[in-house]
């Protein structure tokens, strides 16, 4: 049963999840900020675009700390690679067009929904928000259906 659910083991998943929770907690205790990731992709456009949406205070005003957060993500993953990760850079078998098209749809949808797996999934669920729970159920459902369809069509 356990091997069926978690063929690669469970400890690293749980420990990684707890570390992510501690990271979000650290940001909250120190700054009060709610650290979803998808808003970064809107707020960087405030540097380049004069469209009203990107110049709104909640988008433009948060770009500095969101960029710092992104830099931290990259550093943290690099730290993992150099320690527990074995030092060999990762690659993926997922095709470039899956990454590009999937990225576009996911980026558009997350911003329309104002949250992604971190914003709705971690921060939203943790603040016991019903709309976020509904969003999580919606994206898990469509993601599972889509991933199965892509597999049937021969995608990675």
**Rounded least distance, CB 57 to other proteins, Å:** 14
In the list 1, 52, 57, 154, the residue contacting other proteins (rule: CB under 8 A) is 52
The per-residue b/e assignment along 15-27, b for 16 or more CB within 10 angstroms, e otherwise, is: eeeeeeeebbeeb
Which positions from 10 through 39 interact with other proteins, judged by CB under 8 A? 10, 12-38
- Determine the size of the site formed for other proteins (CB under 8 A): 123
Which positions from 72 through 101 interact with other proteins, judged by CB under 8 A? 72-81, 84-85, 89-94, 96-101
**Rounded least distance, CB 140 to other proteins, Å:** 7
Report long-range pairs for 103-106 (Cβ below 8 Å, ≥24 apart).
Answer: none
Query: What binding mask, one character per residue, do residues 53-72 give for other proteins by CB under 8 A, x or -?
Result: xx----x----xx--xxxxx
Question: Under a CB-based contact definition with an 8 Å cutoff, are residues 131 and 125 in contact?
Answer: no
- Compute, in degrees rounded to 10, the torsion defined by CA atoms 130, 136, 141, 143: 160
Residue 125 interacts with other proteins (CB under 8 A)?
Answer: yes
Which positions from 129 through 148 interact with other proteins, judged by CB under 8 A? 129-132, 134-136, 138-148
Please give the Cα distance from 91 to 24 (Å, whole number).
27
In the list 1, 47, 60, 119, the residue contacting other proteins (rule: CB under 8 A) is 119
Residue 121 interacts with other proteins (CB under 8 A)?
Answer: yes
Question: Under a CB-based contact definition with an 8 Å cutoff, are residues 62 and 145 in contact?
Answer: no
Please give the Cα distance from 156 to 147 (Å, whole number).
9
Comparison of 57 and 127: residue with beta carbon closer to other proteins: 127
The label of the residue with tokens 């998943």 reads: 13
Residue 1 interacts with other proteins (CB under 8 A)?
Answer: no
Question: Under a CB-based contact definition with an 8 Å cutoff, are residues 122 and 24 in contact?
Answer: yes
């Amino acid at each position: 049963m356990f091997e069926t659910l978690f063929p690669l083991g469970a400890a690293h998943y749980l420990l990684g999840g707890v570390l992510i929770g501690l990271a979000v907690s650290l940001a909250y205790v120190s700054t009060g900020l709610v650290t979803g990731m998808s808003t970064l992709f809107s707020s960087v456009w405030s540097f380049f675009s004069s469209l009203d949406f990107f110049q709104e205070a909640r988008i433009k005003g948060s770009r500095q700390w969101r960029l710092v957060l992104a830099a931290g993500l990259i550093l943290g993953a690099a730290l993992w690679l150099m320690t527990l990760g074995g030092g060999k850079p990762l690659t993926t078998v997922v095709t470039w067009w899956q990454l590009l098209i999937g990225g576009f749809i996911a980026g558009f949808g997350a911003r329309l929904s104002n949250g992604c797996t971190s914003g709705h999934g971690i921060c939203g669920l943790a603040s016991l928000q019903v709309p976020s729970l509904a969003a999580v159920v919606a994206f898990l459902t469509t993601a599972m259906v889509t991933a199965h369809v892509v597999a049937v069509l021969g995608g990675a």
